[in-house]
Amino acid sequence: MPDPLLEISGLVTSYGPIEVLHGIDLFVNEGEIVTLVGANGAGKTTLMRCISGVQPTKAGTIRYAGAPLARVPDHARAGLGIAHSPEGRQIFGDLSVEENLALGGYHRTDDLSPDMEDVFTLFPILKTKRHLAAGGLSGGQQQMLAIGRAIMGRPKLLLLDEPSMGLAPVLVDQILEVISTLRKRGVTLLVVEQNAYAALSIADRGYVMETGKIALSGSAGNLIADPRVREAYLGA
């Protein structure tokens, strides 16, 4: 078996004196969609921040494409093929939609135009608003923009943190369709999602996080069928 594209072993991190991740072990194979589910405060967003380099780690290793990331600063990880669409969108409201998308490819030296048109194909509403300030977009449109900005980096590994948060069901379906389309194109995805059933329905595998630890893991189908997951996260 080839090495995973992303492999995390014994990961520990803290906010000040408070340890929030307690020895996380996780892997994502190339071409997979892997989802992280769990209650608020379980540590899912912190784990994503560790992978993208925003949150420093205290112990353990994160390996990407077989190489450790410990000495790679956050801004350089995009150049390796890691893109992060963060929780809360974090778009630049005073900049136009087009300018926000261009920032997603800041590390590239080639022509961004074909990729920008590709984003507009995935999210047609963004094309009609390309010259407008991003701060004037609806919440759903801002989420599309945050994902599109990440796509502009041509990632091999795309980290999506709560891509459907606060969206109407029809927009959730559109976001899930885009995630499936990206996987078909060869993008590997690690997805944090409160809508556990929706996330697991398109994933290959999943992990359940509880209070900074991995409580369960397995195929998406097995997790959907697990009574513990159904009771705690699927409303069954």
pLDDT band at 232 (very low <50, low <70, confident <90, very high): confident
Strands 157-161 and 82-85: parallel
> How confident is the model over 133-190, as pLDDT tens digits?
999 999 889 999 999 999 999 999 999 999 888 788 888 888 999 999 999 999 999 9
> How confident is the model over 111-137, as pLDDT tens digits?
999 999 999 999 999 999 999 999 999
Q: Round to whole Å and give the CA distance between 64 and 116.
A: 26
> How confident is the model over 72-95, as pLDDT tens digits?
999 899 999 999 998 877 899 999
Question: What one-character-per-residue DSSP string does 115-148 give?
Answer: HHHHHHHHSHHHHHTTTSBGGGS-HHHHHHHHHH
Q: Where are the domains of the chain?
A: 1-81+155-235, 90-154
pLDDT of 213? 96
> How confident is the model over 39-51, as pLDDT tens digits?
889 999 999 999 9
CATH superfamily of domain region 1-81+155-235: P-loop containing nucleotide triphosphate hydrolases (3.40.50.300)
pLDDT of 1? 59
pTM: 0.93
